[in-house]
Amino acid sequence: MDFFDALNTSSAALSAQRLRMNLISGNLANVNTTRTNQGGPYRRKEAVFAAQPLNQSFKRILADRQNNTISTVKVARVVEDRNPPVLKYDPQHPDADAKGYVAMPNINLMEEMVNMISATRGYEANVTALKAAKDMALKALEIGR
């Protein structure tokens, strides 16, 4: 693993955590959204991460497989929550059904906050790793002085 591999791995992780944070923010912003373009209440979204080989040439991928080297992360897809909406009794709401119930998004605020903290910590850890790689490169350059 060379200097640029460390930078590529950390930058891919930063991008993945940033997308995760954007999805969490969208979930929190739409916690009370009862009407969407697709019909029905907002559905919670979540990123699915997958490992991706760091090197794309066949020769390097083969060598990586033999040496069990590091992979980087990518967002494989964004999935919508398939749990049913929460029914809340509010007969005055414009989206209430004939019985007075409104279909609300199935978003747990505590779960979203925990996910947000986790994404923040992951982002911070990768910033620290990026800074450490940069500091090591600068120290290596000082050897030549």
The mean pLDDT of 120-136, rounded to a whole number, is 93
Residue owning tokens 């373009």: 37
For residue 49, being part of any structural domain is answered with yes
Alpha-carbon distance values, 143 to 3, 18, 99, 134, 137 (Å)? 16, 36, 76, 15, 10
Number of compact structural domains in the chain: 1
- Mention every residue, 6+ apart, whose C-beta is less than 8 A from residue 62: none
Top pLDDT among 51 and 3 is at 51
For residue 88, being part of any structural domain is answered with no
The mean pLDDT of 71-94, rounded to a whole number, is 92
Top pLDDT among 6 and 11 is at 11
Q: What is the reported pLDDT for 69?
A: 66
Domain that holds residue 74: 3-31+45-80+107-143
For residue 90, being part of any structural domain is answered with no
Q: What is the reported pLDDT for 81?
A: 92
For residue 98, being part of any structural domain is answered with no
Q: What is the reported pLDDT for 71?
A: 77
Q: Residue 26 belongs to what H/E stretch?
A: helix 3-29
Q: What is the reported pLDDT for 52?
A: 81
For residue 56, being part of any structural domain is answered with yes
For residue 96, being part of any structural domain is answered with no
